[in-house]
Amino acid sequence: MPYLADEDRYQKMDYNYTGKSGLKLPAVSLGLWHNFGGVDTLENARKMLRKAFDLGINHFDLANNYGPPAGSAEETMGILMEKDFKPYRDQLVISSKAGYYMWPGPYGNWGSRKYLISSLDQSLKRMGLDYVDIFYHHRPDPDTPLAETIGALKQIQDQGKALYVGISNYNAKQTKKAVEVAEKMGVDLLLNQYNYSIFDRWSEKENLLGTLKEAGMGSIIYSPLAQGLLTDKYLDGIPADSRAAKESGFLKEDSITEEKLEAVRKLNEIAADRGQSLSQMALAWVLDQGATSVLVGASKVEQIIENAAAINNTSFTNEELAAIEAIAAE
């Protein structure tokens, strides 16, 4: 049976304008960083993408090196575009990035024109697409002139290989410089993708959200659940099948102290009083700070259903916010 998307999908999700652009993004977007690679089950990936789209999540976020192995998440996206999503291409926002190590030699990393354009050409081929909706430079390059990196993004956009271009993992100072260079070149940077959560506040110290708003840019947040720590998974300790126990990715077992677990339990109590799961509250909190969209990962359909429902309550009382701040400060 061919896939037919839920007709009511757009009534199930909120959509926010991205900065000063005309592009709306779903409040909750789906990231394919983990669980969509060549080592994973295609049928599970298919179920998750279908359910996400049925819930109005029409933004799928990738990068050249997502997998594992690197590139395989985009290959999975390409297979499922062909099988299920081709009729819906114009309703989807598909993004990719380049900036981290992808292939050996001097042209498979960082931010040169050679790397960025070659990488996007490879990504388009893997996904079977003529263009991506958003293409990001994945991280600042300390050695390549910023004008070259931004110039490559401009060339990519001018050629129609990406409808919008953006940056990722740029701090406030780096963002301001990128915007300055981009404006001189006649490039509009759409948004910055970076990590932010109740536990991860580096961006607040330099007012990155304020910097983006001043520049007319949007913000899309990855790791809003602190690599899964802000879920009910860790309420009773570290389960054997968790990301921390496997030590895959950035959440390490030795970083999860009893103090942090106690903070998770206290946050869970606030979420319960709000009628939400901990993950729903954590996502709602990031959206309440002014983010355009939060990127969630998933290993099963049920997680997507749960996280999409975060939009049902994204307002907080002053008392709730103060309680969350007190717990985070501990």
Q: Is residue 186 part of a domain?
A: yes
Query: Is the model's pLDDT at 38 over the cut of 60?
Result: yes
Copy the structure tokens of residue 79. Answer: 């297979």
Which residue, 134, 113, 112, is CA-closest to 123?
134
Query: Is the model's pLDDT at 26 over the cut of 60?
Result: yes
Domain that holds residue 127: 14-227+285-310
Q: How many residues does the chain have?
A: 330
Q: Is residue 316 part of a domain?
A: no
Average pLDDT over residues 203-211: 98
Q: Is residue 291 part of a domain?
A: yes
- Cα 292 to Cα 289: distance, rounded to the nearest angstrom: 9
Copy the structure tokens of residue 116. Answer: 């960025």
Which residue, 155, 73, 170, is CA-closest to 116?
155
pLDDT for res 251:
63
Q: Is residue 274 part of a domain?
A: no
pTM as predicted: 0.95
pLDDT for res 203:
98
Average pLDDT over residues 264-284: 98
If one counts every other C-beta atom within 10 angstroms of the C-beta of residue 159, the result is 11
pLDDT for res 257:
86
pLDDT for res 239:
67
Q: Are 63 and 327 in contact (CB under 8 A)?
A: no
Query: Is the model's pLDDT at 242 over the cut of 70?
Result: no
Q: What is the dihedral of CA 298, 53, 49, 235, to 10 degrees?
A: 10
Average pLDDT over residues 302-311: 98
Which residues are paired to 137 by β-bridges? 98, 167
pLDDT for res 246:
55
Please give the tally of structural domains in the chain: 1
Q: Is residue 243 part of a domain?
A: no
Which residue, 139, 141, 68, is CA-closest to 98?
139
DSSP string, 266-288: HHHHHHHHTT--HHHHHHHHHHH
Q: Are 24 and 16 in contact (CB under 8 A)?
A: yes
Average pLDDT score, the chain: 95
Q: How do residues 60-79 score in pLDDT, each as one tens digit?
A: 999 999 999 999 999 999 99
Angle at 98 between CA 97 and CA 99, to 5 degrees: 130
Which residues are paired to 25 by β-bridges? 16
Instruction: Name residue, tokens 């594992």.
Output: 68
Q: Is residue 46 part of a domain?
A: yes
Query: Is the model's pLDDT at 249 over the cut of 80?
Result: no
Q: Is residue 326 part of a domain?
A: no
Query: Is the model's pLDDT at 161 over the cut of 80?
Result: yes
Average pLDDT over residues 46-56: 98
Query: Is the model's pLDDT at 184 over the cut of 80?
Result: yes
CATH value at residue 108: 3.20.20.100
Which residue, 30, 92, 17, 49, is CA-closest to 222?
30
| List of residues 6+ apart from 39 with CB closer than 8 A | 67, 68, 69, 72
- Cα 76 to Cα 32: distance, rounded to the nearest angstrom: 10
pLDDT for res 10:
98
**End-to-end alpha carbon distance in the chain:** 53
Q: How do residues 191-200 score in pLDDT, each as one tens digit?
A: 999 999 999 9
Q: Among the residues of the chain, which ranges form H helices? A: 42-54, 72-80, 113-127, 146-158, 172-185, 202-205, 208-214, 243-246, 258-273, 278-288, 301-308, 318-329
pLDDT for res 118:
98
Give me the percent of the chain exceeding a pLDDT of 90.
91
Q: Are 232 and 268 in contact (CB under 8 A)?
A: yes
Band (20; pLDDT cuts 50, 70, 90): very high
Give me the percent of the chain exceeding a pLDDT of 70.
95
Band (232; pLDDT cuts 50, 70, 90): very high
Q: Is residue 72 part of a domain?
A: yes
